[in-house]
Chains A and B, each alone.
Chain A
Amino acid sequence: MRLLCSVSLAVLAAVPRAGAAVNVVATTEDLAVLAREVGGDRVKVEALARGYQDPHFVEAKPSLILKLHSADLLVLVGRELEIGWLPPLIQQSRNAKVQAGAEGYLDASLSVKILEIPTGQITRAMGDVHPLGNPHYWLDPGNGRHVAKAIVDKLSRMAPADAGYFASRYADFDKRLAEAEKRWDALMAPYKGVKIVTYHRSWPNFTDRFGLDVVGYVEPKPGIPPSPRHTLALIAEMRRLSVKIIVVEPYFDLKTPNSVARETGARVLVLAPSVGAEPKVTDYIKLFDHDVNLVVSAIKDTGSP
């Protein structure tokens, strides 16, 4: 006991912070690459969740507490996406800068377009419904731009001397993103209104932006695993509408999507819901390059209506 006390008292001295770079921790790799785009070499960025991981179910490991402990800025997706794991991490971080409401706490969802905000009575009979709207908003490049801008504004307040640097990096990113958007829009333009089915409700911002029509989900309700009855109904609906594409996130089991695909002649398409979901998806623009190319070639191959 006495030993424990003396050990804990002996190590009072805080670890000195190395360098002047702003230490940014982002909950997902998407937010991390956006922070890197605008922060350049004036920031040090780490992500808590990997891109191939279900962001709803990250484990609150103590190693993540250490990352938050030394953060100057926490960028989170918000809309309760991280509610199962981020609050205990923040609480145990012993870091006043990143507590909810503090200067270093940036909820990226406050500056973007949010879809599927529920109206009326919400109950868990609807499954794992997000009462504050769909949190997968980074899958619309327009929202990525808004998030990058919010990060620039925050970084410029935290490191005013580098504000010009951040602004020019943002301008460059904005330009590259706008060029890429033209490319993606041109690729997707012929396929407006193509009907698809997705596993989870991760894609409304993507399908809204690129004009795809989601007509069903493999999950009967958000967060509820596929049931035989729902799967049969989905197969019937897909046959009726001749849906030929089933989009699945890399962290879901392919058994049900594959059997639905066999019954309907559809193709299972594992898209990247986040940067880092595939080794070659290393930045925000490559995320859409990857997904748009896969979608376009799948539509061409299957002759989707």
Chain B
Amino acid sequence: MRHFVCFVPGLLLAASGLLTFPAAATAAEQSPPGGTASSVGDEVGVLRGELETLRQDYASRIAALEARLQALEGVQAAAPAPAPSPALQAAGASKIFNPDIGVVGNFVGAAGQSPGGGEPSLNMQEAELSFQAVVDPYARADFFVTLGPDEVALEEGYITFPTLPGGFLTKIGKMRDAFGKVNGQHPHTLPFIDRPLVSTNLTGGEDGLADAGISVARLIPNPWLFLEATGQVYQGESEIFKAPMRGDLAYVGHLRAYQDLGESTNIDLGGSIAYGHNGVTADTTTRLLGADATLRWKPLRRSIYTHFLARGELVWSRTGTADGPFDAVGGYGYLEYQFGRRWTAGVRYDNSERAQEPGLRDEGGSFIVTFKPSEWSLVRAQYRRTSFAGEDSPANELLFQFLFAIGAHGAHPF
């Protein structure tokens, strides 16, 4: 296009040159050195006529050229300013609707003594594949498939309707339950390598509370703070809930309150409840209550260099059995401080009873250091000391982790 536009003014210049040069040349040829006054007068008249025709001829040609130039300029002005990216053009139109695809590798190693054997020495714990795209004008879909050392599982796979009438954010599919903070997180978004003892003992460990069902979440309008209520109904098929009959559904409710305490600091509180049949006998049920609190500090001017986070979660569990219900309580507290653009340190305290072994309590603590070379990879080390109930000496272990992501740029977790 640019070449063409440059070419047209060039053409115009050439045309105007043609107009003046031949006219001058003709005048020089035809103008005689002498002759009669009348013949000269006649010749001048003829010449004038010829010149006039020539002028008209060129004037019309120039007008035509000008019109073409204007048309071209018009086309250029009307064209959309940014050309489509060459990368997009290269991708081809058929691939534009492919979902965003990402893969996260999670490699975990462990050393030291642990009564149950603990994590393997070197383990490619999982590769998580994510496929995410908009379905149609009403919904989007997210799939997370985990490939473990010996299993392939659908970690999550759901459709989200973000704009249903009434403000109900609705998800349908297999999901991690909205119970507390840690339960909803995928392993690669956790700030530690393992899950806290309370997760292992009371809420189903690594797989956690995750099930097929329907979730609706709504903002509760009020002038003071962010308040969101979530209600979920599940099939009743997870590490904790087992439905003996088709109608024995599991229910989860979650209330989240959030408030900014200035631009750098905020507080995030949550209360959760989960209830369903546990499959121990035909009519025994398990009830879980959870409370979580998070305080975050991140100065906006230095947001990529430093932050502080304090989080605590508590879980009360009542598990129905043939011998009557067992109560257990557990929780963890976690502090995290980012001390460099790439460096974060954390400390965690764990304490939890076991769900169906009354009076047995495990206790532990961890130091965690994380190094992030870039947004797409991290290296983490965790020293963990755990006193398991009934063991004489505590287990001392060193865990380390390599996390690496390729593909689509997911949102940063909050």
Which residues of A pack against B, CB within 8 Å? 1, 4-5, 7-8, 11-12, 14-15, 50, 52-54, 57, 59-63, 65-66, 69, 80, 83-85, 87-88, 90-96, 99-101, 109-114, 117-120, 122, 124, 127-128, 131-133, 146, 223-225, 250-251, 253
What chain B residues lie within 8 Å of A87 (beta carbons)? 411
Which residues of B pack against A, CB within 8 Å? 80-83, 85-87, 134, 137, 140, 160, 162-163, 166-169, 216, 218-221, 226, 228-229, 231, 251, 253-256, 258-260, 263, 266, 268, 273, 275, 298, 300-305, 341-342, 374-376, 406, 409, 411-412, 414
What chain B residues lie within 8 Å of A4 (beta carbons)? 229, 231, 253-255, 273
Instruction: Please state if A114 and B82 are interface contacts (CB–CB under 8 Å).
Output: yes
Instruction: Please state if A122 and B414 are interface contacts (CB–CB under 8 Å).
Output: no
Nearest B residue to A80 via CB reads B409
Nearest A residue to B266 via CB reads A61
| A and B contact pairs by CB, cutoff 8 A, 27 listed | A4-B273, A7-B220, A8-B216, A8-B218, A11-B220, A12-B166, A52-B300, A53-B303, A57-B303, A59-B298, A62-B226, A63-B259, A63-B260, A84-B409, A85-B411, A88-B411, A91-B140, A92-B162, A94-B163, A94-B167, A100-B134, A122-B87, A132-B87, A133-B82, A133-B85, A146-B81, A224-B374
- Neighbour of B169 across the interface among A7, A66, A92, A132, CB < 8 A: A92
Interface class of chain B by DSSP? mixed
Instruction: Please state if A63 and B266 are interface contacts (CB–CB under 8 Å).
Output: yes
- Neighbour of B85 across the interface among A99, A112, A113, A117, CB < 8 A: A117
Q: How far is the CA of A91 from the CA of B171 in the complex (A)?
A: 12
Instruction: Please state if B304 and A57 are interface contacts (CB–CB under 8 Å).
Output: yes
Instruction: Please state if A117 and B409 are interface contacts (CB–CB under 8 Å).
Output: no
Interface class of chain A by DSSP? loop
Q: How far is the CA of A122 from the CA of B90 in the complex (A)?
A: 11
Q: How far is the CA of A278 from the CA of B316 in the complex (A)?
A: 49
Most chain A CB neighbours (cut-off 10 Å) among B167, B256, B342:
B167
Instruction: Please state if B376 and A132 are interface contacts (CB–CB under 8 Å).
Output: no
Nearest A residue to B377 via CB reads A124
Q: How far is the CA of A99 from the CA of B140 in the complex (A)?
A: 11
What chain A residues lie within 8 Å of B268 (beta carbons)? 62
What chain A residues lie within 8 Å of B273 (beta carbons)? 1, 4
Instruction: Please state if A1 and B275 are interface contacts (CB–CB under 8 Å).
Output: yes
Once A4-B229, A66-B226, A111-B81 are accepted as A-B contacts, the answer to whether A94 and B412 lie under 8 Å apart by CB is: no
Once A83-B411, A87-B411, A223-B374 are accepted as A-B contacts, the answer to whether A65 and B226 lie under 8 Å apart by CB is: yes
What chain A residues lie within 8 Å of B226 (beta carbons)? 62-63, 65-66
CB distance from B322 to the nearest CB of A (A): 25
Nearest A residue to B132 via CB reads A87
CB distance from B218 to the nearest CB of A (A): 5
Q: How far is the CA of A90 from the CA of B140 in the complex (A)?
A: 12
CB distance from B252 to the nearest CB of A (A): 8
CB distance from A169 to the nearest CB of B (A): 23
What chain A residues lie within 8 Å of B302 (beta carbons)? 251, 253
Closest 10 CB pairs of A and B: A4-B253, A96-B163, A8-B229, A62-B226, A62-B258, A94-B167, A53-B300, A84-B412, A60-B414, A15-B221
Q: How far is the CA of A108 from the CA of B411 in the complex (A)?
A: 21
- Neighbour of B229 across the interface among A7, A83, A96, A101, CB < 8 A: A7
Instruction: Please state if B412 and A61 are interface contacts (CB–CB under 8 Å).
Output: no
CB distance from B249 to the nearest CB of A (A): 11
